[in-house]
């Protein structure tokens, strides 16, 4: 395929979630991403119809990792010598669930909370760059993963598995959650100093105490105590401190 077609395909893959529906999830966005490939068939309407019909079936994966699958499907369909490409369908069905399970903890459970907390800390300090910080941190990482995933997926025709294995998203997700925990402690320290004037705690004490409180909450939940009970307990404790 031409470079311009690949660029258009990648840009279309950014909107794979925009036509989400309850019946077949992201199928419309997936098929729409393959339109630049369908154009290569020219006036052969039966081939275009066959390609889009095959890939209008149900598809559900993490939207940021769907580009890697789209790139691989395009590569397999392009190199197929027949009107049908069962390898592309098998690859799509095989990878969509694992990629969803891999992307959710990293992007939703790790990167987004970290970016949000960093932005809130800067906002409490009165810095106008707070929204920009959130957008830069979050978008720079997820756009890079989407772009590299699409490129590697099209290059190897295997869904960019080697690339995703190399960056180790599950391991990075665990690391981001611990970094977010530290930033939450820092956020609480900023809140104490900015919102409770009569409480004058050193920064080290405020951050360290909050970090210890978060670890205590993790430990209580691990011991089988309801997370809702822990949440109410922390809220009650903060109300006491506020008073």
Q: What is the pLDDT of residue 220?
A: 84
The residue assigned the tokens 């106008």 is: 128
Whose tokens are 């205590």? That residue is 216
Judged against a pLDDT cut of 70, whether residue 20 lies above it is answered with yes
Q: Is the pLDDT of residue 177 over 70?
A: yes
d(CA 136, CA 99): 24
Query: Residue ranges of the domains in the chain?
Result: 3-171, 196-242
**The pLDDT of residue 10 is above 80:** yes
Mean pLDDT score, 94-109: 93
The Cα 211–Cα 33 span in angstroms is: 45
Structure confidence at residue 243 (pLDDT): 56
d(CA 78, CA 230): 54
pLDDT > 70? residue 199: no
Name the residue among 2, 67, 3, 62 with its Cα closest to residue 32: 67
Q: How confident is the model at residue 117 (pLDDT cuts 50, 70, 90)?
A: confident
| pTM (2 d.p.) | 0.81
Average pLDDT over all residues of the chain: 85
DSSP string, 158-208: STTHHHHHHHTHHHHHHHHHHHHHHHHHHHHHHHHHHH-TT----HHHHHH
If you average pLDDT over each of 109-118, 141-150, 217-226, 231-240, which comes out highest?
A: 141-150
Helix (H, G, I), strand (E, B) or coil at 125: coil
Q: Which two tokens stand for residue 178?
A: 């611990």
């Amino acid at each position: 395929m031409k470079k311009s077609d690949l660029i258009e395909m990648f840009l279309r893959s950014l909107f794979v979630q925009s036509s989400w529906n309850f019946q077949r999830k992201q199928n419309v966005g997936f098929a729409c991403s393959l339109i630049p490939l369908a154009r290569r068939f020219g006036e052969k309407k039966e081939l275009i119809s066959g390609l889009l019909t095959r890939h209008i079936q149900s598809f559900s994966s993490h939207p940021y990792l769907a580009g890697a699958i789209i790139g691989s499907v395009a590569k397999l369909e392009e190199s197929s010598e027949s009107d049908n490409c069962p390898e592309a369908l098998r690859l799509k069905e095989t990878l969509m669930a694992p990629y969803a399970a891999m992307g959710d903890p990293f992007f939703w459970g790790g990167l987004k909370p970290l970016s949000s907390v960093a932005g809130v800390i800067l906002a409490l300090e009165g810095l106008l760059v707070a929204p920009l910080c959130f957008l830069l941190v979050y978008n720079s990482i997820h756009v890079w993963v989407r772009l590299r995933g699409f490129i590697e997926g099209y290059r190897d025709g295997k869904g960019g598995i080697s690339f995703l294995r190399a960056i180790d998203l599950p391991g990075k997700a665990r690391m981001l959650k611990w970094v977010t925990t530290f930033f939450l402690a820092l956020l609480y320290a900023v809140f104490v100093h900015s919102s409770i004037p009569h409480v004058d705690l050193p920064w080290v004490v405020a951050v360290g105490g909050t970090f210890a409180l978060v670890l205590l909450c993790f430990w209580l939940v691990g011991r089988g105590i309801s997370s809702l009970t822990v949440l109410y307990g922390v809220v009650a404790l903060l109300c006491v401190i506020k008073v």
